[in-house]
């Protein structure tokens, strides 16, 4: 008898128990609940799982969230003694009516489908439905970079029904501002998430009417530490390096020129590096201001040395012309200077230029004494030392050009002032 019964079962196709229970075939679920009647209210609840990435170049953000819908469909009510809900997976969704919520201004989105579609449907005996799914969505966010990297960005994710206007479907936040929850560990590496909050509005489309739109807004504040380390600190160091050139002897032409030009090259590289990962905006960013002002400082230090060198050369020429005009009178001081120069292993023609008639006048007496001493003693060392004592000071004073002296104070002072202004404006 067992086998007989089974044979009979095979010829008849049983409907799925759910369909029998929910009487899915009795109704036309392509039409919304209360079709032709008042708008059906659909409550929305969101739990944000993570903010995956924020892209400045594309000006978008990627978010993974659990999206839950709550509505009442009396066609799905079933008799139950325990008042417990029935839970179904995603395969029932195709057979009943569900709200067609979409993300306005989204670029790409998908419902996760590992291991099966991440969709849950829970039907209560009175016809209330809870419909939940897990979605990753990439949506546009207009970013303003005029204070980058000391900026805050406000982004929002917008939910709206695609087909049903506000006369057919009323979308609302189920618990007001508490409808939006976030996982406790939600965090981004480059940003501090300041707050999440919800709003709702009506949106008008000229062809299709008014729609309810829900907003998930959040504010992100950028962590500046990375940019301090990557951009600001190297730029400041380069500017300081360029100041080293003012303390180097102005006679060391190759050294000062290559120092200046290499710091310019490094600044140029830093500037290119920053712009590589940024969108090409048409306004100036805060980091651009800092880098370009630092570049100008470094550039000016090169120009400053060009001026020093040029003026030194001009002065030299004047000295030379002056000396040639008085050939015999300058014979005596020349010999003295020669003696003195002979004691200095580092003297050169430039410093000789300093010995004009005017400058020599007060020192001539000293020099004559020196010459006497020199003639008496045969030790070049002592004479050198004595000569050096008398004239080292003179030598060093004329070794620094006036421009260099002023630059040692002006450049650092101006740069520190610029930093004070910059950080107080942008912080």
The residues in 266-285 that bind other proteins, with binding defined as CB under 8 A, are: 268-269, 271-272, 275, 279-284
Residues 159-188 that bind other proteins (CB under 8 A): 162-165, 168
CB of 256 to other proteins, least distance (A): 7
396 binds other proteins (CB under 8 A): no
The reply to whether 84 sits near other proteins by the rule CB under 8 A is no
Supply the minimum distance, in Å, between the C-beta of residue 44 and other proteins.
11
Q: Which stretch binds other proteins (CB under 8 A): 223-231, 247-255, 387-395, 402-410?
A: 247-255
Report the relative pairing of strands 209-222 and 86-88 from DSSP bridges: unpaired
**Options 121-129, 147-155, 294-302, 409-417: segment touching other proteins (CB under 8 A):** 294-302
Interaction of residue 53 with other proteins, rule CB under 8 A: no
Output the smallest distance, CB 162 to other proteins, in A: 5
Contact set for other proteins, span 193-232 (CB under 8 A): 205-208
Cis bond before residue 149 (omega within 30° of 0): yes
Which residue lies nearer to other proteins by CB, 224 or 271? 271
Chain positions 300 to 319 lying near other proteins, rule: CB under 8 A, are: 302-303, 306-307, 309-310, 312-313, 316-317
Q: Give, as ranges, the residues between 351 and 390 that touch other proteins (CB under 8 A).
A: 352, 374-375, 378, 380, 383
x/- letters, 100..139, toward other proteins (CB under 8 A): xxxxxxxxxxxx---------------------x-x-x--
418 scored as a contact of other proteins (CB under 8 A): no
The reply to whether 335 sits near other proteins by the rule CB under 8 A is yes
Establish if 398 lies at the interface with other proteins (CB under 8 A). no
21 contributes a contact to other proteins by CB under 8 A? no
Position among 196, 299, 418, 422 found at the interface with other proteins (CB under 8 A): 299
Q: Which of 341, 370, 401, 404 binds other proteins (CB under 8 A)?
A: 341
Among 156, 323, 367, 407, binds other proteins (CB under 8 A): 323
**Contact range with other proteins by CB under 8 A, out of 45-53, 324-332, 393-401, 417-425:** 324-332
Please say which residue, 59 or 86, places its beta carbon nearer to other proteins.
59
Distances (CA, A) of 40 to 70, 117, 161: 11, 26, 12
Nearer to other proteins, 87 or 377 (CB): 377
* Minimum separation from the CB atom of position 184 to other proteins (A): 26
Which of 192, 249 has the CB closer to other proteins? Answer: 249
Q: Give the sign of the dihedral formed by CA 124, CA 127, CA 133, CA 138.
A: negative
């Amino acid at each position: 008898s067992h086998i007989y019964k089974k044979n009979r079962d095979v010829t008849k196709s049983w409907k799925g128990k759910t369909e029998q229970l929910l009487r899915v075939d009795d109704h036309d679920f392509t039409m919304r609940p209360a079709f032709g009647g008042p708008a059906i209210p659909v409550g929305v609840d969101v739990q944000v799982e993570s903010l995956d990435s924020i892209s400045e170049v594309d000006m978008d953000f990627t978010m993974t969230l659990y999206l839950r819908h709550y509505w009442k469909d009396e066609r799905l009510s079933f008799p139950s003694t325990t008042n417990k809900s029935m839970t179904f997976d995603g395969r029932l969704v195709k057979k009943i009516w569900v709200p067609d919520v979409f993300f306005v201004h989204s670029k790409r989105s998908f419902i996760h489908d590992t291991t099966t579609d991440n969709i849950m449907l829970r039907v209560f005996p009175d016809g209330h439905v809870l419909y939940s799914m897990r979605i990753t969505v990439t949506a546009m966010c207009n970013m303003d970079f005029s204070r980058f990297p000391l900026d805050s960005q406000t982004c929002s994710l917008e939910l709206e029904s695609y087909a049903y206007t506000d006369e057919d479907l009323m979308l609302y936040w189920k618990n007001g501002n508490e409808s939006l929850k976030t996982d406790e560990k939600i965090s981004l590496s480059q940003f501090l998430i300041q707050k999440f909050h919800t709003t709702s509005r009506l949106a008008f489309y000229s062809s299709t009417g008014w729609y309810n739109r829900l907003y998930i807004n959040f504010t992100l504040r950028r962590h500046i530490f990375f940019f301090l380390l990557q951009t600001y600190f190297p730029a400041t160091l380069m500017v300081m390096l360029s100041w080293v050139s003012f303390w180097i002897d102005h006679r060391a032409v190759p050294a000062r020129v290559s120092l200046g030009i290499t710091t310019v090259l490094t600044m140029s590289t830093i500037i290119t590096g920053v712009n590589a990962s940024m969108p090409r905006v048409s306004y100036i960013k805060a980091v651009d201001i800092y880098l370009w002002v630092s570049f100008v400082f470094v550039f000016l230090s090169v120009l400053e040395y060009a001026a020093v060198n040029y003026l030194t050369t001009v002065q030299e020429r004047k000295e030379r012309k002056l000396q040639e005009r008085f050939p015999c009178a300058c014979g005596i001081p020349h010999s003295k200077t020669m003696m003195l120069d002979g004691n200095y292993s580092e003297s050169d023609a430039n410093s000789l230029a300093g010995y004009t008639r005017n400058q020599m006048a007060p020192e001539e007496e000293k020099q004559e004494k020196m010459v006497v001493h020199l003639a008496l003693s045969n030790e070049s060392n002592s004479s050198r030392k004595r000569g050096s004592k008398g004239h080292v000071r003179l030598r060093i004073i004329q070794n620094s050009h006036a421009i260099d002296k002023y630059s040692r104070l002006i450049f650092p002072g101006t740069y520190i002032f610029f930093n004070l202004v910059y950080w107080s404006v942008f912080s």
